[in-house]
Structure formats: C-alpha cells, structure tokens
Amino acid sequence: RKEVEQDPGPFNVPEGATVAFNCTYSNSASQSFFWYRQDCRKEPKLLMSVYSSGNEDGRFTAQLNRASQYISLLIRDSKLSDSATYLCVVNARGGTYKYIFGTGTRLKVLA
C-alpha cells in the first residue's frame, strides 16, 4: 500500500463547479499535512496547510480526519486557472520530517 494515495483523475469540471479531492495516508504518526499545486512542467507550490480543525482560504477548504487518516480539498466556484495537478503531502516523523507526496489528482476546468 502506498504511503499517500490519491485518485489520479483527471477530473474534468465546468467553470463554476465545486470539486472535491480526497487523499488517504497510511502512517498514523504523521503530523502535518499540506496541499500543493503543480502546473505542467513546473515545481510544486504550496496551496495550503491542513489543520485538524479544518481551514479555509478563499474558495479552497481543507479538512483532516485523523481517525480515518484522510485529507480532503474542496474547491468552490472553479476557475479555468485552477486547472493543475493537486498533490497531497504528508510530513512524516521519524527523524527527518520528510515530505511524502501522493501521485496527484489532475483537475481540468472547462470553459
């Protein structure tokens, strides 16, 4: 089983739609969680951290369920510019606090 699993998609949605991505992680000792966005042939950029109480940043809402070991990202009112790959990232403890990346979920917002 992969340490961080995501549905690779692609998710094709019309502009203005609401779309949700889920991610599951296997290491129950994981402490911090992030969503990154990666555009084609570019480096990942931090979208938002994910907190236990859930957090929102404009049209983006992230949730963490520690009991079920999953993280979600909700995008409301999708824009064409939201088209990208969304990477779920778990910061694993165990000495080096290294990031473990999911394979990413591709989103394409259609006009």
Partner 1 sequence: GAVVSQHPSRVICKSGTSVKIECRSLDFQATTMFWYRQFPKQSLMLMATSNEGSKATYEQGVEKDKFLINHASLTLSTLTVTSAHPEDSSFYICSARWDRGEGTQYFGPGTRLLVL
Residues that bind partner 1 (CB under 8 A): 31-32, 34, 41-46, 49, 87, 91, 96-104
Least separation in angstroms between CB 106 and partner 1: 9
Least separation in angstroms between CB 30 and partner 1: 11
Place of tokens 């394409």: 108
Place of tokens 């969503």: 35
Contact 28, 93 (CB under 8 A): no
Nearer to partner 1, 26 or 49 (CB): 49
Nearer to partner 1, 70 or 101 (CB): 101
The values of phi and psi at residue 43, to 5°, are: -80, 160
Least separation in angstroms between CB 68 and partner 1: 22
Nearer to partner 1, 69 or 91 (CB): 91
Nearer to partner 1, 60 or 76 (CB): 60
Amino acid at the residue 89 = V
Query: Could you tell me the two tokens for 46?
Result: 């931090």
Closest CA to 94 of 1, 40, 27: 27
